[in-house]
Amino acid sequence: EAQVTQNPRYLITVTGKKLTVTCSQNMNHEYMSWYRQDPGLGLRQIYYSMNVEVTDKGDVPEGYKVSRKEKRNFPLILESPSPNQTSLYFCASSFWTGGSEQYFGPGTRLTVT
Amino acid sequence: DAKTTQPTSMDCAEGRAANLPCNHSTISGNEYVYWYRQIHSQGPQYIIHGLKNNETNEMASLIITEDRKSSTLILPHATLRDTAVYYCIVRVDSGGSNYKLTFGKGTLLTVNP
């Protein structure tokens, strides 16, 4: 089954404790992206990647890192999480051509206390 | 991306067709109309897209007016599981660009038993 998976689905952590949210897709998509969704603010893009080893900042990259060492994986790293990073996070992927037809993961609900 | 206007909410009876309108009067000739939906706190789901011809897939039909200034998403036999926020997006798909999706407020479709 074609899908985007994220882990963990739920995470409660404390300020400053490094964490990684994994994202994996099995559709051989070139493009991958991370969003966060907050009430009243809609989806905001954090980082995106056009292909392996090619990443770039989205609209709200501060406090986040990403890497794209393999085509299928695009982990989101929070080096020192803070309470303002409490949010619902989505990973998405698509082909290079027709990239607006995106497939989203189920979401990771992160709470930083 | 062209601006879109959608009703805030709509109701539909289970088993009936749900017709969701979208106005995009400033659409350019090379902009596509995309529809996504988001069931509460789940990842957004791609539904369908089109340029100027009507499109149909296993989920829905997309009717685009001849002047392309508006479109209608049709769910032919709505079920309770179709209750979601539906987003209409108009955008150009050029290879090599950031395929960042920007959702407006969308239409909350409530399917009633």
User: DSSP assignment, residue B51?
Assistant: S
Residue tagged 């929070």 (tokens)? A78
Nearest CB to B45; choose among A50, A97, A104: A104
Residue A40 has a pLDDT of 87
CB pairs under 8 A between A and B: 67
Give the β-pairing of A54-57 and A42-51: antiparallel
For residue B95, the model assigns a pLDDT of 61
CA distance B43 to chain A (A): 5
Angle (nearest 5°) at CA B59 between A91 and A24: 20
pLDDT confidence tier of residue B98, bands split at 50, 70 and 90: confident
A33 to chain B, any CB pair closer than 8 A? The answer is: yes
Task: Give the pLDDT score at B104.
Answer: 87
Q: Given pLDDT bands bounded at 50, 70 and 90, which one contains residue B99?
A: confident
**B47 CA to chain A: closest CA distance, Å?**
9
Q: Which residues contact A96 (CB under 8 A, 6 or more apart)?
A: A30, A31, A50, A51, B95, B96
CA distance A90 to chain B (A): 7
Look at A96-105, B26-35, B102-111 and tell me which has the smallest mean pLDDT: A96-105
Residue A48 forms contact with B (CB below 8 Å) = yes
Measured CA distances, A89 to B18, B58, B77 (Å): 29, 28, 31
Contacts of A30 in chain B (CB under 8 A): none
**A33 neighbors A50 (Cβ within 8 angstroms):** no
CB contact under 8 A, A31 and B99: yes
State how far the Cα of B106 lies from the Cα of A73, in Å rounded to an integer. 30
Nearest to B100 among A58, A88, A98 (CB): A58
d(CA A108, CA A6): 7
Within 10 Å of residue A32's Cβ, how many Cβ atoms? 28
Token pair for A101? 């037809």
What would the mean pLDDT of A80-92 be, rounded to a whole number? 97
Query: E strand or H helix at B9, and its extent?
Result: strand B9-13
Q: State mean pLDDT over A81-106.
A: 92
